[in-house]
Amino acid sequence: MKLIPFFRRQTPARTVHAGGRALVRTGVAIGLAALAWSHGATLHAQDDPPKQIDVSSLPAKIVDEVVVPVPTEVFGVLDKLGAPNWHHVLRKIEHSGTGERPQVALLLGSVIAEGFIAVEAQEPEEVKEIGRRVLSLAEAIGVRKSVISRTSSIIDSADKKDWGRIRVELDGAAQDVRQAMIELQDEQLAQLVSLGGWLRGTEAVTEVVQKNYTRDGAELLHQPVLLDHFQSQLDGMNSRLKRNTLVAEIRKTLPDIRPLIEKREELSKENVDKVHAITRDLVKAISAQES
Amino acid sequence: MNLPVKIFTCYLLALVCFLPLSAPAYATIDDALSFALEAATPYVKEGFTVREDYWGGDLAVKQKKTIVHQLFKGNEYWFWMGTDIASAKISVHIYDSEGKLAEAEAWHHKPHMAAARIVPKATGSYYLVVEVHSSPEERTHWALSYGFR
């Protein structure tokens, strides 16, 4: 079956009719070759994906899982656009790590995001401190074991100033913590880790873009799919979590960001300022000693 | 042989028979991911950072799945797909938010693997379409990983 499109591409029917038997023989030879190497024919058939798909009725079922980008994906673009002063964006972590579990989960995500900022700022001591904080927050939430090797590697790599390795370990720490929480039937808390990281990452990005506004920089905030993902996770949380003051506040405030970032061409300096104010206040609430 | 010993022997036999059958079922997405990461290896040397997070599942032959993913203009991305079945033909392709094919290149000539690269022209949501074109198995496990630089 896969032979047909391959044969047609090699020897269009029009040419076969016009060219006589020699071309027919060539076509048959190509066809036989294709049959003999059906593996190759399959590859050719697959070489031509549709140039256009109808997104309103996708040809395939949509996978529910959303992979949240790591802050570095955005920070790297900002680095290419200019030379942001990451030292100014980097913040000391003052929270002791005590509090209700939803707050600790949000804080853990936000501290991991801070780790990515510390890497951008190339501050080894801050990175080490963040590594230790990640471990103590993971302990507070009952998943210490899952990140011990990651945090050790973060601290060791900070001594060596191996920034690439630290980025990998921070991403891995977030992933391992979430996985450990899922295994403990705490999937919704795991979602809060991702949300905390996204909020701190977005606050940092808006701070950089605010200081040196460019259309390309502002465009990085056009993330409606991620906002919808977080909103739907918050809406689907159990009533105990929804009643948590901090979670309730984030759930109430997050929809305010959607209209500000919805249209790529409308990401003005004013909108960036507004997104920054919203995320700054939410991160402040996450980092407050009592929620 | 007394009854408890018989029961224990039967239990042991059942365990020995079924364990090898059940273990691969759990291992298959991990195996698929291993191949996706193997596909990524040469690109790591070119400066791509591979994410720890990934997508995975199983598909019937000719079945497609779509993943919606956020990409940022200014980065370059590779998406690597793997399967545990060597003779399965798989592919991954990338479309922009309007449904236009947006990848810079794609390949699927190696056993167990397929990949696609994109340099996004705009920041926003993109559609990753994964497909199993042919496979000797009824369901084919797959995993999709990505990297950026």
Read off the tokens for A227.
Answer: 């906002």
Task: Evaluate whether A77 touches A209 at the Cβ level (below 8 Å).
Answer: no
Q: Which of residues 23-42 of B touch A (CB under 8 A)?
A: none
DSSP character at residue B88: -
DSSP for residue B73: B
Element at A223 (helix H, strand E):
none
Query: Any idea what the Cα angle at residue B112 is, between residues B77 and A42, rounded to 5°?
Result: 95
pLDDT in tens, A63-102: 777 899 999 999 999 999 998 999 999 999 877 778 899 9
Mind telling me how many Å the CA of B8 is from chain A's nearest CA? 32
Contact A49 B91 (CB under 8 A): yes
Q: Which of B51, B63, B99 sits opposite A52 (nearest CB)?
A: B99
pLDDT digits (tens, 9 = 90+) for A226-251: 999 999 999 999 999 999 999 999 99
DSSP 8-class letter at A93: -
Residues with Cβ within 8 Å of A248's Cβ and at least 6 positions away in sequence, in order, are: A242
Lookup result for tokens 């499109």: A5
Closest to A66 (Cα-Cα) out of B94, B48, B66 = B66
Percent of chain A past pLDDT 70, that is, above it, reads 82
Give the one of A63, A81, A225 whose C-beta lies nearest to B74's C-beta. Answer: A81
Residue pLDDT, tens place only, A117-163: 999 999 999 999 999 999 999 999 999 999 999 999 999 999 999 99
Q: Which residue of A has its CA nearest to B88?
A: A39
Residues of chain B contacting residue A191, judged by C-beta atoms under 8 Å apart: none
Provide, rounded to the nearest whole percent, the portion of chain A with pLDDT above 90.
73
Copy the structure tokens of residue A279: 């995320």
How many Å apart are CA A19 and CA B88, to the nearest integer? 38
Nearest to A175 by CA among A220, A108, A227, A238: A108
Q: Backbone phi, then psi, for A281, in 5-degree steps?
A: -65, -40
pLDDT on residue B120:
98
How far apart, in Å, are the Cα atoms of A279 and each of A14, A97, A190, A195? 62, 20, 20, 11
Q: What is the mean pLDDT of residues A271-286?
A: 97
| Interface residue B146 vs chain A (CB under 8 A) | yes
Does the ipTM exceed 0.85? no
Contact B100 A52 (CB under 8 A): yes
Q: Does B76 touch chain A (CB under 8 A)?
A: no
Question: In a structure prediction context, what are the per-residue pLDDT tens digits for chain B, which is 149 residues long?
Answer: 555 555 555 555 554 444 444 444 446 889 999 999 999 999 999 999 999 899 999 999 999 999 999 999 999 999 999 999 999 999 999 999 999 999 999 999 899 999 999 999 999 999 999 999 999 999 999 999 999 99
CA distance A104 to chain B (A): 22
Q: Which residues lie below 8 Å from residue A74, measured CB to CB, with a gap of 6+? A: A201, A205, A220, B72
Q: To which residue do tokens 């032979």 refer?
A: A3
- Among partner residues A66, A70, A264, which is closest to B51 by beta-carbon distance? A70
- CB neighbours of A203 closer than 8 A, spacing ≥ 6? A276, A279, A280, A282, A283
Chains A, B: CB pairs < 8 Å: 125
At residue A57, the pLDDT reads: 78
Q: Which of B66, B99, B108 shows the shortest C-beta gap to A60?
A: B66
**Nearest neighbour of B101 by CB, restricted to A49, A58, A226:** A49
**Which pLDDT belongs to residue A97?**
74
Contacts of B100 in chain A (CB under 8 A): 51-52
How far apart, in Å, are the Cα atoms of B50 and each of A234, B42, B145? 28, 11, 8
- Tell me if A42 and B133 make a contact (CB, 8 A cut-off): yes
Cβ of A69 and B99 within 8 Å?
Answer: no
Nearest by Cα to B76 from B47, B35, B107: B47
